Amino acid sequence: MWLKNITLLNFKNYSSAELRFAKTVNAFVGNNGAGKTNLLDAIHYLCLCKSYFNPIDSQQIKADEDLFLIQGDFDRQEKNEKITCGLKRNQKKQFKRNKKEYDKLAHHIGLFPLVMISPYDVNLIMDGSEERRKFIDNVISQTDSNYLDELIIYNKHLLNRNSLLKQVAVTRKLDVTLLQILDEQLIVSGNKIFEKRKQFLLDFIPLFNQHYSFITEDAEQVSLNYQSQLNEQKFEDLLNQSIEKDRILERTTTGIHKDELLFAIGDMPLKKFGSQGQQKSFLIALKLAQYSYLQKFRAFKPLLLLDDIFDKLDDHRVRKLMEMVSHHDFGQIFITDTGRERVLSVFKEINVEVTLFEVENGMIKHA
Ligand SMILES: Nc1ncnc2c1ncn2[C@@H]1O[C@H](COP(=O)(O)OP(=O)(O)OP(=O)(O)O)[C@@H](O)[C@H]1O
């Protein structure tokens, strides 16, 4: 699957733009703030119905304009697919596949898989465990449509149980039968999610290790570990044991909503002990593992979007990475960088042709 062209109207800092892409490597080069990342975000929007960087749709419309439009032609399983997306201020966004509007945006997600690697991914290391659970959930959801429904069900049961605990704190009476019913519902759903996450990580961790050791040539030892209270004990035992604590805190303190993905360098937390370059290598390996996982469980290769990838990586790691994504099992790639000459020399060195687009103030020149 690859994106043949894209047309933008009033998207972020673009009034209008039309680009024709190469099937292999495309690079957007230009100064800071020129609009390179905005082009990646337009591609992300077309594939996944939302911005990678900003959840507020109306802020994607160019300042002082009333609507934006993004249109692109994909080659997917040897068929042309025209995807159109439009948003008018204060209205619902519209998504069309071959001129037919989707009933539900969820039907679009997963059809045009994509992996973005961006400097913003550092949140995955620096922020709380929720970011890392979201990462796991996002990858599984793109390959298993039931998973997202199960998460919604679990969160609903969790909310009900927490409401009961709050009520008990006021009335000082616990309806044991109701608690048992809520616990049973939570246990069924929690166990399903736990099994899926466990299986996912069994498949995912070897892919991650493979990518990390390739990029860094085994320069350092890192690890990725799935931590869940359900690894240690049955969910029902956890709930029974924590009921007093839950009553005091008025919320459920055990379950898969407490799962964590531990990132370590040596035996120490990556957040505190990894250099910026090591953290970046870790995140890249994580995202490339996502790519390999999606490719394995979906029929074709996702698009790979690399935002500002060269910064903070030494030349050796940059070369290894570019060599891997260009020569190995990857499909269409989009890269942004401030240095035109750097991009040209990296790809010249590994003997890969790159199609260059020079970006300046929301305007594009095919270089
Ligand atoms: N809705 C909008 N309307 C107008 N301009 C916008 C809008 N949203 C973002 N911009 C502008 O887009 C520009 C940022 O573009 P982008 O992030 O693509 O830059 P970049 O070329 O990737 O820069 P860097 O090299 O610094 O990462 C900023 O000048 C910002 O003000």
Interval 189-212: pLDDT, tens:
999 999 999 999 999 999 999 999
Instruction: Provide the pLDDT for residue 347.
Output: 87
Same domain, 47 and 105: yes
Compute the distance between CA of residue 321 and CA of residue 244 in angstroms, rounded to an integer: 51
Q: In terms of pLDDT, which residue wins out, 315 or 1?
A: 1
pLDDT digits (tens, 9 = 90+) for 6-31: 999 999 999 999 999 999 999 999 99
Whether residue 93 is contained in a domain is answered as yes
What pLDDT score was predicted for residue 297? 84
Identify whether 120 is part of a domain: no
Over residues 249-265, the mean pLDDT reads 96
Beta strand extents in the chain (DSSP E only): 2-11, 14-20, 25-29, 67-76, 79-88, 94-97, 100-101, 114-117, 222-227, 260-265, 268-269, 303-307, 333-337, 354-360, 363-366
Residue 121 lies in a domain: no
Distance from C-alpha of 324 to C-alpha of 186, rounded to nearest angstrom: 43
Asked if residue 19 is part of any domain, the answer here is yes
Q: Is residue 119 part of a domain?
A: no
The whole-number pLDDT of residue 328 equals 67
Verify that 271 and 231 share a domain, yes or no. yes
Q: Which two tokens stand for residue 195?
A: 């099994």
Largest CA distance in the chain: 73
- Looking at the fold, whether 276 and 201 belong to one and the same domain comes out as yes
As a dihedral over the C-alpha atoms of residue 348, residue 208, residue 330, residue 116, rounded to 10 degrees, the angle is -90
Alpha carbon of 337 to ligand 1 centroid (Å): 14
Same domain? For 165 and 180 the reply is yes
pLDDT at 142 over 90: no
- Substitution site in 15, 29, 38, 67 for ligand 1 pocket (most atoms within 8 Å of beta carbon): 38
Residue 148 lies in a domain: yes
- Rounded distance between C-alpha atoms, residue 106 and residue 48, angstroms: 9
CB-based contacts of 105, cutoff 8 Å, min separation 6: 49, 93, 95
Instruction: Tell me which of 274, 297, 320 is where a domain ends.
Output: 297
Q: How confident is the model at residue 215 (pLDDT cuts 50, 70, 90)?
A: confident
Lowest model confidence (mean pLDDT) among 106-110, 230-234, 257-261 = 106-110
Res 144: pLDDT: 84
Residues 245 and 329 in one domain: no
Q: Rounded mean pLDDT of 116-127?
A: 92
316-320 average pLDDT score: 80
Q: For position 236, what pLDDT does the model report?
A: 96
d(CA 215, CA 235): 39
Residue 239's pLDDT band (cuts 50, 70, 90): very high
Same domain, 98 and 218: no
Residues 187, 255 share a domain: yes
**Ligand 1 geometric centre to CA of 116 (Å):** 17
Q: 271 and 159 in one domain?
A: yes
Q: What is the pLDDT of residue 95?
A: 96
Rg (CA), the chain: 23
Mutate to test the pocket of ligand 1, among 37, 116, 364 (most ligand atoms within 8 A of CB): 37
DSSP state of 311: T
Q: Would 335 be classed as within a structural domain?
A: yes
Handedness of CA 183, 189, 195, 197 (dihedral sign): negative
* Residue 184, pLDDT score: 97
- Both 270 and 339 in a single domain? no
Q: Evaluate: CB of 37 within 6 angstroms of ligand 1.
A: yes
Q: Are residues 308 and 201 in the same domain?
A: no
100: how many CB neighbours lie within 10 A of its CB?
Answer: 8
Same domain, yes or no: 258 and 310 = no
245, part of any domain = yes
Please report the pLDDT score of residue 367 as a whole number: 62
Q: Which protein residue's CA is at the shortest distance from atom 29 of ligand 1?
A: 33
- Supply the pLDDT for residue 1: 92
| Residue 268 domain boundaries | 128-297
Averaged pLDDT for residues 155-183: 92
CATH code (residue 236): 1.20.1050.90
Tell me, using a 6 A CB cutoff, whether residue 118 lines ligand 1: no
Residue 40 maps to which CATH number? 3.40.50.300
pLDDT value at residue 64: 94
Residue closest via CA to ligand 1's atom 28 equals 33
How confident is the model at residue 198, as a pLDDT? 97
pLDDT of residue 10: 98
Task: Evaluate whether 190 touches 161 at the Cβ level (below 8 Å).
Answer: no
Percent of the chain with pLDDT over 90: 73
Q: How large is the ipTM?
A: 0.97
291-307 tens-digit pLDDT:
999 988 877 889 999 99
- Ligand 1, atom 2, residue with closest C-alpha: 12
Numbered residues of the known binding site for ATP? 30-37
246, 309: one domain: no
Residue whose C-alpha is closest to residue 274's, from 116, 53, 124, 132: 124
Question: In the chain, how many domains are there?
Answer: 2
Residue 308 identity (one-letter amino acid): D
Mean pLDDT of 102-119: 88
Boundary (domain end) residue, out of 281, 297, 313? 297
- Give yes or no for residue 167 CB within 6 A of ligand 1: no
pTM for the model: 0.88
Is the predicted pLDDT of residue 241 greater than 90, yes or no? yes
Residue 35 in contact with ligand 1 by CB distance below 6 A: yes
Chain mean pLDDT for the chain:
92
Q: Name the domain boundary from 297, 318, 342.
A: 297
- The DSSP string of 105-136 is GGGTTTTS-EEEE-GGGGHHHHS-HHHHHHHH
